[in-house]
Structure 1
Amino acid sequence: MDLTQSYGSVVPAALLRRYEWAEVRNAAVIVKATNPTEWQDLIDVLTAFRLTAAEMMIAGGNKSGLTGRLEDDFKDRGWREARLDTEVTLTTERRPYRPAGERKSATERTNVTNRGYLVDGMKGRIALDVEWNAKDGNLDRDIGTYRAMHEAGFLDAGVIVTRTQDDLREIAVALQPETTKFNTTTTTNLDKLVPRLTRGDGGGCPVLAVAICARTLD
């Protein structure tokens, strides 16, 4: 699946310069057109966000201070954690065989329940996750959840806020030569996310990726 670049026509120029962007299925244009309030929330949060070198170097995983701060900014605007649970009723009807003296159908019903995964925030018909430094398997969970919610008719698009890898690693080494910060390549970052988008893991769901990068540093 090819990446699209609709964000170039709807994202303010200042934000195009401060973050790295990627998308499939023209996600940015779709979010803005179908959920303008949620789009403005995204623009406002990204505009206000500042990354400092000290914060970048703080040890911790995906729920570090940076991630919590971003999530809180969205929650202040009405975004809430959400999960799609599905319940399917399977019905089997066995038709009677009259030569054997059977007169009535026999019906069996089985309920199958599937609990989904939480997204960090949902508002309107947009889901959003912040993936700063988690295991990269989280990206499979996020995209799979977006796909399921989209196919069920509850979602117009998904947004993932993540980070770049190599440029932030260079800054970390310059600040602290002995650091192991950003050494691991199996954590969530844009390089890990893009292949999942281009191989179509999200199905028909538009997905927009925004990556904090060296240019985001205050």
Structure 2
Amino acid sequence: MTRGADAVFDDDAFAAEVFDDALLARYSVKSYRSATAVLRQRAPQELAAILAVLRQFTISQTEIRSPGGNRMSATERFGDLARSAGFHEEVRIEADLLVKLRAGKGKEPPLIAEMRRDDFIHNHMVDFWRGRVAFDYEWNSKDQTYDRDLYAFRSFFEAGVIDVGVIVTRELSNGFFKSLGYCLDKQGIETTETVAAKFGASTTGTHKLISRIAAGRSGGCPVLAIGILPGNITAD
């Protein structure tokens, strides 16, 4: 019997139907609520666009060692690739709710009350949106950012705007960051701060994202979680 967080995710074998061996050497893949199948059936063009972005995207060791946090040069480059693939950036959803009450039987009983709830859905944002897909990227934010992202997916999904959400984040161990040595300053000079110290325990990583997805933070929205592996990091 499968136990733990993995019990709510799709079989890993399904990832191979969408991701080829070259991509799986660079990214981990976790599919929740048949996200891979939804992408193939409901959003094949958006899936092809996402795969194209992932194939083109790499991060250098120098970029990781340099200052910039979640908005480092690689993040900007990821945004450029997503925009070039036809995704709109920083898309917000807002909605008012009109409630009607009717009394009696028949096809259209008389209206007895009506009320409007302004800002029923208010200002939830995804990094990128195209067609039926929301697409987010998180590199080095506080891990609570995942709660915001998943709730945004849920809002878009429940409003009927998307069928699936996709998040690209990192899956890199503390040992990997230790292997990169010390950080660089804006002039490219080595500092006394280690790279491992910059990527602390409270920052983003796939294990924290997966635990939140397993807890149902995205509601009924299918989610594809993609982790950046060491195979995606290039030498200087």
**Pairwise same-fold verdict (TM > 0.5):** yes
Residues 30 and 173 (structure 1 numbering): CA distance in 2 closer, same or farther, change over 3 Å?
A: same
**SS of equivalent residue, structure 2 residue 225:** strand
TM-score normalised by the chain length of structure 1: 0.85
Percent identical residues? 32
The 8 Å contact of residues 143 and 201 in structure 1, kept in 2 or not, is answered as yes
Counterparts of 1:70-85 in structure 2 under 5 Å? Answer: 70-81=78-89, 82-85=91-94
Deviations 1:53-86 (A, max 9, x none): 1112122222221111101101112101311112
Change in 2 beyond 3 A, CA 1:179/1:48: same
CA distance in 2 between partners of 1:148 and 1:107 (Å): 26
Q: How many residues align?
A: 206
Shift of residue 17 of structure 1?
A: 1.5
Residue 39 (1) aligns with residue 67 (2): no
Q: Hey, what's the Cα distance between the residues in 1 that align with 2:118 and 2:98?
A: 6
* 1:206 and 2:222 are equivalent in the alignment: yes
1:92-111 map, 5 Å: 109-111=115-117
Q: Which amino acid aligns with 1:40?
A: A
1:53 correspondence with 2:61: yes
**1:179 counterpart = 2:194:** yes
C-alpha deviation, 1:111, in angstroms: 3.3
Residue 139 of structure 1 and its aligned partner are, at CA, apart by 0.7
Question: More strand per residue: 1 or 2?
Answer: 2
Query: What is aligned with 1:112?
Result: 118
1:7 and 1:29 in contact (8 A); partners too: no
Q: CA RMSD in A?
A: 2.2
Once residues 216 and 106 of structure 1 are traced to their aligned partners in structure 2, the CA distance between those partners, rounded to angstroms, is 61
User: 1 CA distance for matches of 2:75 and 2:224?
Assistant: 18
Q: CA deviation at 1:107?
A: 5.6
Aligned partner of 1:136 among 137, 140, 143:
143
1:185 is paired with a residue whose SS is: coil
Structure 2 unmatched runs, 5+: 1-6, 103-110, 183-192
- Deviation above 3 Å: which 4+ runs of structure 1? 89-93, 105-111, 180-183
* Alignment equivalent of 2:167, drawn from 157, 160, 177: 160
Alignment deviations for residues 156-188 of structure 1 (CA, whole Å, 9 cap, x no partner): 10000000141xx32332231550444412112
Letter in 2 for 1:185: A
